[in-house]
Structure 1
Amino acid sequence: MSGSLWLKPPKEGAALPAIPRPRREETPEPPGAESAPDTDLAPDPLDELAGRIDGFVAAAVHPDEVAALLESDGMTDDHIRLTYGRADSFALAEDLYARVERRHPAPQAPPAGPRFDGLAHCLLRGLVFALPGLAYVLAAPLLAGEQGRYGLPGGTVPLLAGAVTGWVWNQALSHRAYTWLGLGDRPAAARALLTGALPGALAGTGVALAVAAPGETPAAVFAAGQALYLAAATVLLVLGRERALLGALVPLAGAVPAFRWDLPGPLRIGLLLASLTAAVVLAALVLRPGLRRSAAGRGGPPRAASLPYGLFGLGSGLLVLHAGVGATPVGGAGAVVALTLSMGPAEWLLHRFRGESLTRLRTLTTARAFRRAVTGTLVLCLGGYLTVLVSLALAVTLAWPGAPWPTLPRLLALLLVGTALWLGLLLQAFGAVLGAATVCLLAAAAQTALPAAGPVATGGAAAVLAVLTCVLLVRPTAHRV
């Protein structure tokens, strides 16, 4: 915001009038003339300020919104006391809010076109999130070996270590690229992805090789391909090429017959390499704008600002992994598949919550009514997501040969993880990513240290995130865009 509200403060040593008024020039009065009443007073500067920001104040549902506007425009408490005779920005905001009549604009008409375009797009993203899981089905016989560590199958440790490294790196990289896109600089976003994707792939590969034990070389090689795919998929998803990524994943559909029949090793390797090659080539093609020298852009957003997003990727990724641990291999994989598939509907419900909140911000006239409406919308969206998650878990159980029917404790644990993930994503969308990352990391650390405390840790995380969400999102100022 520019300094349109800024008024240059008086020089030091000036008086502190309650409401400053310029003096009238005095003229000598003729002898015997009676003094006329002083009616030529300067206008109240508070009225002048109210006139300039009338539209914003009229649409506000709470004085705090006005105070946030004043503070963002650079008005200090000293300046407010000197110029308007009020103690601080909150006192000035309350006076402005009382002077201006509420006038909320009518809600915007819904855009023309199919109503469920946004839902279809989010479902597509959920599909491309889940399809890479078929690569593990194809590679499973190739990775089979001796019993692994920590009670896990052989090769699991390097695979998990490489995947978690990729989640952390690519989550932070995505935030940086999306920041450039928000600034309207698509070539700079491509440049950020170009310079960050390959180091992320190398980091995932290096970590997988470092933790691989003797006999886990095939798993480490697969983890290297996994790291390269995660880098390519990040590029395509950030730049909006979900359909291209879906096309690259088509060869993995060859894993469907592998659920019932044994496929030859060369065929399995060929399908994996075909999908990986297609993803890498497509990512390289969409990164061509980043090769231009002009794509370097300005200094850009600080890199440290992307760190909390990487930490949130680490915490949420570990929670998803823990959701697949402690059950039978098939049952655990089914929970992970359900969570992954649900990310598409989760995104759509996040957008829906944002849209409904903005509509309430334009139509409601009191902060209390806004809080009640936003709370109701939050409950409906979270309930809708959990319903979708349970439906997906049951569908995966029916479609997966030999999958055990989920027990009530497993469903409850899945719902707790889903609640924590969705609320964490919601807080991330509103900029409160550090709190969400901290809560998810603490819950994941507790499950890692004491697996038996998993449901308690996840339930505690879900409760804390629910409190943070209610405290933050019931404030009208959190929804101003």
Structure 2
Amino acid sequence: MSGSIWMPPGARPDTLPAVPRQRTAPSWAQPDPLDELAERLDDFIAAAVHPDEIAALLESDGLSDDQIRERYGVKNSFALAEELYERVERRFPEPDGPVHDPWQVGLLGCLLRGVVFALPGLGYVLGAPLLAGPRDDVGLPAGTVPLLASALVGWMWNQGLAHRAYAWLGLGDRSAARRALLLGAPVGALLGALVALTVAGAAHPAAVAFAAGQSVYLGAATALLVMGRERALLTALLPMAAGTVLALVHPVPEPARLILLLGSLAVVAVLGLREVAPLKGRGAASGMRLPPRGRDQPRHSSRRDTAMGPRLSASLPYALFGLATGVLVLYAALGDVLTDEQRSAPAAVALTLSMGPAEWLLYRFRSSSLAGLRSSSTPRAFRRTTVRTVTRCLVGCLVTLLSLSLATSALWPHAPGVSGVRLAGLLLLGVVLWTGLLLQSFGAVLGAATVCCGAALAQTVAWLTHTGSPHWVGLIVHGTAAVAQTALVCALLGRATAHR
């Protein structure tokens, strides 16, 4: 019967069969939006170690909780992430080529940064005769108050400025980073000089001038360090360092000291200005948009950040962290009731030099955590990996600080024996600084700033009220802050999104 048309019984042969009405598919046959989303994000979901990674991706795509409830029938992005995590089987495919690791840095570069951090301290040795005079009302050497006030303002301002410039670099806009440094560095230098002038009191005008030069240096050095010009900064500081070494073995006239200080300052300022100024001849490079660099990428960036730039308020916690850690380091540097700078100078030098290796160990941890994300198949396994890694890095940081502290105490002229309480307080301060940097890299700078500000305030109150021995106060304050920040780090170690 091929070629014949089947007709229902009773139908007339001269009429065509009725076209059947299209039926609506039952609700159970409708495609599930969750299945469609899981299929679209299959590769990412399969490689996720924890649902929080998926939630972060959903939020970065701009999905609000209202949209999620309307489209997928779940409460929020975290509930949706958990549902997707359950629907997709875990797979961890090996990449086709070499894995990109933005946290890979060389040890030599970090050691160079540590030396660059420490070398400016030689300027105080070279300029000491220029600041000679009677102690002030609180027993500090002449000119110390304006120098300290200017330094603290500079550390606070330039820490926030560096974050803003790095945020622009993370968004790929190098010219915007230059503009931020070009505008921000002079403002910070002026603010530091004004603060020094305000608190100078009866201090010699040379102290105010020295503090103003210190503020200019901090702004210019920040610009060079952010733009990756450590070698240029080191070269500019070498004449001053050589003059300081010469002054330790042979008297150097005051005019020569002044020339060395002003010469290095002028070179650093010119290099910093040249690096950030929109000079002719940069060509298209001055306005090009670079691909984001991993360690410069701001945490939790959004489309608004990309379109309008990073918010100014986002840099405030970094500025507060810089101020608080500056206060803690100054207390460690000035030592016994802030009256005997010779006793604690080796500790300050060791702490500053250790920042280079500490930075490298931080990068090593972040690099290892990325490798742990690729090799771990469960959140528990990933947490075990990160705990072991952070423990090794923290121990390495403390061993480095201990070695530098013992070496500088042995080599420093007329330095007393190392006190156990002082050394313990210094090591705990090292823990505070390193865990604070780690929290910053996790995007939890607000927690680090809160802990460090509390510690700095407590130590200041203890000094003003003459409560207890400075060494024991430092030990207690640093120990409490170290415990608090270590707890914050432990709370974040198992969160895969903190390591992306």
Normalised TM-score (structure 1): 0.86
User: Which structure 2 segments of 5+ residues have no match?
Assistant: 1-18, 290-306
Correspondence 1:182 to 2:170: yes
- Once the two structures are TM-superposed, the CA of residue 40 in structure 1 deviates from its matched residue by 9.5
- Once the two structures are TM-superposed, the CA of residue 212 in structure 1 deviates from its matched residue by 0.8
Rounded Cα–Cα distance in structure 1 between residues aligned with 2:378 and 2:141? 58
Question: What secondary structure is seen at the aligned counterpart in 2 of 1:153?
Answer: coil
Whichever residue aligns with residue 380 of structure 2, its letter is R
Question: What secondary structure is seen at the aligned counterpart in 1 of 2:334?
Answer: coil
Q: 1:325 aligns with which of 316, 328, 334?
A: 334
- Once the two structures are TM-superposed, the CA of residue 421 in structure 1 deviates from its matched residue by 0.7
Superimposed CA distance per residue, residues 134-168 of structure 1 (whole angstroms, 9 cap, x where no aligned partner)? 10110112211011232211111011011111111
Correspondence 1:300 to 2:283: no
Instruction: Summarize the alignment of residues 305-384 of structure 1 with structure 2, pairs less than 5 Å apart.
Output: 305-327=314-336, 328-384=340-396
Which residue is equivalent to 1:287?
276
Whichever residue aligns with residue 322 of structure 1, its letter is Y
Aligned residues: 447
- Once the two structures are TM-superposed, the CA of residue 76 in structure 1 deviates from its matched residue by 4.5
Instruction: Summarize the alignment of residues 144-223 of structure 1 with structure 2, pairs less than 5 Å apart.
Output: 144-223=132-211
Which residue is equivalent to 1:269?
258
Query: Which 10-residue stretch deviates more, 39-48 or 307-316?
Result: 39-48
Which residue is equivalent to 1:238?
226
Rounded Cα–Cα distance in structure 2 between residues aligned with 1:400 and 1:302? 45
Which residue is equivalent to 1:431?
443
Correspondence 1:258 to 2:244: no
Rounded Cα–Cα distance in structure 1 between residues aligned with 2:216 and 2:144? 18
1:373–1:89: structure 2 CA closer, same or farther, 3 Å change rule? same
Which residue is equivalent to 2:40?
52
- Once the two structures are TM-superposed, the CA of residue 281 in structure 1 deviates from its matched residue by 1.3
Correspondence 1:396 to 2:432: no
1:82–1:188: structure 2 CA closer, same or farther, 3 Å change rule? closer
Which residue is equivalent to 1:3?
none
Whichever residue aligns with residue 237 of structure 1, its letter is L
Correspondence 1:464 to 2:452: no
Question: What secondary structure is seen at the aligned counterpart in 2 of 1:373?
Answer: helix
- Once the two structures are TM-superposed, the CA of residue 86 in structure 1 deviates from its matched residue by 4.1
Question: What secondary structure is seen at the aligned counterpart in 1 of 2:278?
Answer: helix
Superimposed CA distance per residue, residues 234-287 of structure 1 (whole angstroms, 9 cap, x where no aligned partner)? 111111111000010011221013234332111211111111111011112112
Question: What secondary structure is seen at the aligned counterpart in 1 of 2:107?
Answer: helix
Question: What secondary structure is seen at the aligned counterpart in 2 of 1:249?
Answer: helix
Query: Which 10-residue stretch deviates more, 362-371 or 428-437?
Result: 428-437
Rounded Cα–Cα distance in structure 2 between residues aligned with 1:236 and 1:412? 34
Rounded Cα–Cα distance in structure 2 between residues aligned with 1:335 and 1:90? 47
**Is the 2:45–2:85 Cα contact (8 Å) retained in structure 1?**
yes
Rounded Cα–Cα distance in structure 1 between residues aligned with 2:38 and 2:143? 67
Which residue is equivalent to 1:474?
494
Rounded Cα–Cα distance in structure 1 between residues aligned with 2:260 and 2:99? 43
Superimposed CA distance per residue, residues 194-240 of structure 1 (whole angstroms, 9 cap, x where no aligned partner)? 11111111111111111112242221111111111111111111111
- Once the two structures are TM-superposed, the CA of residue 43 in structure 1 deviates from its matched residue by 3.5
- Once the two structures are TM-superposed, the CA of residue 392 in structure 1 deviates from its matched residue by 1.0
Q: 2:94 aligns with which of 88, 102, 106?
A: 106
Instruction: Summarize the alignment of residues 81-120 of structure 1 with structure 2, pairs less than 5 Å apart.
Output: 81-106=69-94, 109=98, 118-120=106-108
Superimposed CA distance per residue, residues 311-365 of structure 1 (whole angstroms, 9 cap, x where no aligned partner)? 1110010010011233442231111111111111111111111111111011100
Whichever residue aligns with residue 439 of structure 2, its letter is L
- Once the two structures are TM-superposed, the CA of residue 87 in structure 1 deviates from its matched residue by 4.8
**Is the 2:150–2:193 Cα contact (8 Å) retained in structure 1?**
yes
Whichever residue aligns with residue 448 of structure 1, its letter is T
Rounded Cα–Cα distance in structure 1 between residues aligned with 2:265 and 2:155? 18
